[in-house]
Structure 1
């Protein structure tokens, strides 16, 4: 019975990742095709009103169709020039009370400069490596004040990096989806990211965000290539799980 339950957990984790990855890839392609020459600058991107409106429509549609995502958006930056200051772009939409709302962070450039998301891993890694990146779990103090996992995919136009498509998955969403099944297992189980950072588990011993230091006592049951989630089962199970 445990093997069946483990397979079900694996399938659910994979469903989440596949859906979010497909949504991100779709938005990347839409952004690449709709951004006009007026938006793409030599040192980044600054959306025209027309391009911003079109991109917002795509983001809202993708978020409406997403079962697992909490928020989606586009982040970009145009470097400072002799003519004007650097400009931060963050088009962000999120779900609240079963509705999709806009976080109008784009309008507050002073706030953007203080935050400067170029220093965040979800922006910096794709900018430097031109590859997708998964960041978290971490507490997102900017948008939702909750434990969050951020998927970010670079947007490239003619080999130039212009920004990232960003999608947030709340750890609480995985809690609701996965934790009831973890609790049915006869073994202590921990779901981690690929850096061994704990996302959730079926015991209070292992806390979200902490580093999982007991890999030697665990077996990895779910480690597909390039997958951001890993399911660990403890070899030495104790029935005193709390």
Structure 2
């Protein structure tokens, strides 16, 4: 075909740098796919729990077995998701004090249930109610992104957990949630962040850094000072903090923090 031509300035054409708005939108789209799977799980769970309420008996782990085909399907469909399911509020089920109806993908690609001993006499992880992925949706009624953290309960991997509250009859019943390995999330969004002209990082509502191109802030560290939750709930979805620009990634509870180039 024809030879390439230099630009009017004499230099070869180069891709334009992405704007912060572009990057925030692409991060939003990446995580919204995961939240859509969480929403599907939430809808299935609500239907199961509502059916139990309509018959006038407390739900059991046997009722939650109806969620399994949908959970297996979502795991097979979404490569970014490593685990997905429903985590019951303590005391919700008639036959056990606590329960995770949780399915996850193995290293070999197989899908299997997570089998846990949640007896407080045997397990150090029997009380999951203080963890951000559970407490934030319970306390705020909103979706949450927790982590990154080492997920000792499910995988022993550095992960993010995306979760949303499940309510039945106006009462909190637990959370629908999905896990994403941090390495998989980094692979999906790091190239996007590197299109920005200056350093940037993605931070959750607690100030925990998820992914960063800024050498001052490593994944898992806390970025102190800004009120990230206020940025997420504010009318503009953006704010300035000592030269850094904070921008919500749409309705996803993640903030893009960018610093000037140079």
TM range (shorter): 0.7 to 0.9
Which of 86, 102, 115 is 1:92 aligned to? 102
In the alignment, is the contact (CA less than 8 A) between 1:2 and 1:186 conserved in 2?
no
In the other structure, the counterpart of 2:66 is 54
The SS at the match of 2:27 is helix
TM-score normalised by length of structure 1: 0.79
- Relative to structure 1, the CA distance from residue 208 to residue 89 in structure 2 (aligned partners, 3 Å threshold; closer, same or farther) is same
CA distance in structure 1 between the partners assigned to 2:54 and 2:125 by the alignment = 23
User: CA offsets, 1:123-163, max 9 Å, x none?
Assistant: 23333443333222222122222322212222222222222
Alpha-carbon distance, 1:77 to partner:
3.6
CA distance in structure 2 between the partners assigned to 1:153 and 1:40 by the alignment = 26
CA RMSD of aligned residues (A): 3.1
User: CA offsets, 1:25-44, max 9 Å, x none?
Assistant: 111111111234279988x7
CA distance in structure 1 between the partners assigned to 2:216 and 2:72 by the alignment = 39
2:225 aligned with 1:232: no
In the alignment, is the contact (CA less than 8 A) between 1:79 and 1:85 conserved in 2?
no
CA distance in structure 1 between the partners assigned to 2:202 and 2:210 by the alignment = 6
2:15 aligned with 1:4: no
User: CA offsets, 1:92-126, max 9 Å, x none?
Assistant: 11122222222112x55355575311222222333
Structure 2: give runs of 5+ residues left out of the alignment: 1-14, 226-240
Larger radius of gyration: 2
In the alignment, is the contact (CA less than 8 A) between 1:40 and 1:162 conserved in 2?
no
CA distance in structure 2 between the partners assigned to 1:159 and 1:194 by the alignment = 25
* Number of equivalences: 230
The SS at the match of 2:18 is helix
In the other structure, the counterpart of 2:32 is 18
The SS at the match of 2:67 is helix
Alpha-carbon distance, 1:177 to partner:
1.2
